[in-house]
Amino acid sequence: MQILRTAAALRAALAGETRTAFVPTMGNLHAGHVSLVDLARRHGQPVVASIFVNPLQFGAGEDFDRYPRTLDADCEKLAAAGCDLVFAPDAAEIYPVPQTFTVQPPEALANDLCGAFRPGHFSGVATVVLKLFNLVQPRVAVFGKKDFQQLLVIRELVRQFNLPIDIVAGDTLREADGLAMSSRNAYLGASERIQAAQLQRELATVALAVQAGERDFEALAAAAARRLKMAGWRVDYVAVRDAATLQAPAADSARLVVLGAAWLGSTRLIDNLDFAHPFE
């Protein structure tokens, strides 16, 4: 497995490749990331993973400085998973000049849910992903469903910029108690880690109620948020949406998704469950 630090070296290594599969990450990898590499191997060759903690998607007071940087351990995991090339640039390589040109996703998609609590986040995500797509020139790119809103932003980016890239979604991997695997889980204290699986359980409760015929999505979401708050969480949102658009569900929505974001102490956790629309 090659580990490359510069755009020039990356382009040279991928010259002439037409079936590249790409997995962008911020590092501090866990089994969920490894599953995305496994998925990428089934869709293209060579498999390229990037490791870059993107400053553009972190807001003031967020965890950019303390986000774990574990390059050596990450590369060991990627090599074991069959990754062919790791692109691990520094910030100066990705942003050699101030990034005054940025991608602005549609407001209805980017300023709702997580975007309402992290202003500018999805612009930062879309901008760095577009840069990475330009550098790697993949035929396929793989993103996890755990960051569901991000996945939809990237799909719309590819559609509106006519990029010849297939976006493949990888299922969320979970711990034995249901907690979605996340690099930020390492921030949780011992008691917080035990409590953290409640977020998934509350989302599952909402999904099961909808599948059983409940129609008042806002009331179901509000009840879940209330239960989390009573247990000591600080809730950003719980919501039921159309899984294709993240807008309010409609009668013709093929799939729905219940999403949540909430804080345990200083750790913000997100999760979601998508499911078939159960009624007409």
Point out the residues that are catalytic: 33
What is the 3 state secondary structure string of the chain?
A: CEEECCHHHHHHHHCCCCCCEEEEECCCCCHHHHHHHHHHHCCCCCEEEEECCCHHHCCCCCCCCCCCCCHHHHHHHHHHCCCCEEECCCHHHHCCCCCCCCCCCCHHHHCCCHHHHCCCHHHHHHHHHHHHHHHHCCCEEEEECCCHHHHHHHHHHHHHCCCCCEEEEECCCECCCCCECCHHHHHCCHHHHHHCCHHHHHHHHHHHHHHCCCCCHHHHHHHHHHHHHHCCCEEEEEEEEECCCCCCCCCCCCEEEEEEEEEECCEEEEEEEEEECCCC
Taking a C-beta distance cutoff of 8 angstroms, is the pair 238, 202 a contact? yes
For residues 273 and 238, what is the distance between their CA atoms, to the nearest angstrom?
11
